Amino acid sequence: MAEENKVILHGTWGSLFVKRVELALKIKGIPYEYVEEDLSNKSPQLLKYNPVLKKVPVLVHNGKPVSESLVILEYIDETWKTGPRILPEDPYERAIVRFWANYIDQHLIASTAKLWKSSGEEQEKAQEEVLEKIRIVEEGNPEIHGNELGLLQILLVTTFGSHKAYEEVLGVKILVPENTPLLYSCVTSLNELTLVKQICSPHDMLVSKLKIYRQNALKSTTR
């Protein structure tokens, strides 16, 4: 890779936020170097490039760091004009996509996080909340198609593409075809794309990692 256009991605293999960036880079055909970070022992480079939040993903382009996955995705789309567009050209359509992207991050994923920290009746309530948020996303995005890879599709497939692993660990359903058939079909179709398969974590490895995450999440609520 030419030094004047060097791209480095700092991440962790199980992070859905890192997977977003990996998929966007592959969609654009951008060569990059991947640096696996141990978040229990953060590297000096990560602390240097993201001193405020001290977390991944961080994209370093020509020595300049960009943090936060949604910000990074827009940066990629605006910097590399060649290849498929991640956001629409039209300002209004782009604003709508941004709205739903923020909704997914601030509401849907926030609700999903409750599943990992709860059990019993609390988890059932959290599941109902998640299913309702997913339904809202489907009803607000009737034009989602499974063979496209725009911003919302990137978010949906990296969030729900591994739903079977999540469901196995949590013991609850997250993506239900009867509840949201359009989204279920969309995610299923996206999972079959070559680019998506390239960034997917192996099921068994992900389950093992999620079991540890689940145990730690439950312990944190009992302290």
Please, what are the domains in the chain? 7-79 (3.40.30.10), 91-221 (1.20.1050.10)
**Confidence band, pLDDT 50/70/90 cuts, at residue 5:** confident
Structure token digits, residue 77: 């789309």
Tokens, residue 16: 């859905």
Q: Is the pLDDT of residue 160 over 90?
A: yes
Q: What Rg do the C-alpha atoms of the chain give, in angstroms?
A: 18
Which residues are CB-neighbours of 66 under 8 A, at least 6 positions away? 58, 59, 60, 72, 75
pLDDT at 77 (0 to 100): 97
Q: How many residues does the chain have?
A: 223
Q: Could you tell me the strand order of the sheet in which 64-67 lies?
A: 33-36, 7-11, 58-61, 64-67
Q: Is residue 145 scored above 60 in pLDDT?
A: yes
pLDDT band at 2 (very low <50, low <70, confident <90, very high): very low
Q: Per-residue pLDDT tens for 174-222?
A: 999 999 999 999 999 999 999 999 999 999 999 999 999 999 999 887 6
Residues 6 or more apart whose CB falls under 8 angstroms from that of 184 comprise 175, 176, 177
> Does residue 93 carry a pLDDT above 80?
yes
Residue 63: CB partners within 8 Å, gap ≥ 6?
Answer: 6
Per-residue pLDDT tens for 47-86?
Answer: 999 999 999 999 999 999 999 999 999 999 999 998 899 9
Q: Which residues contact 132 (CB under 8 A, 6 or more apart)?
A: none
Which distant-in-sequence residues (6+ apart) come within 8 Å of 194 by Cβ?
none
**pTM of the predicted model over 0.85:** yes
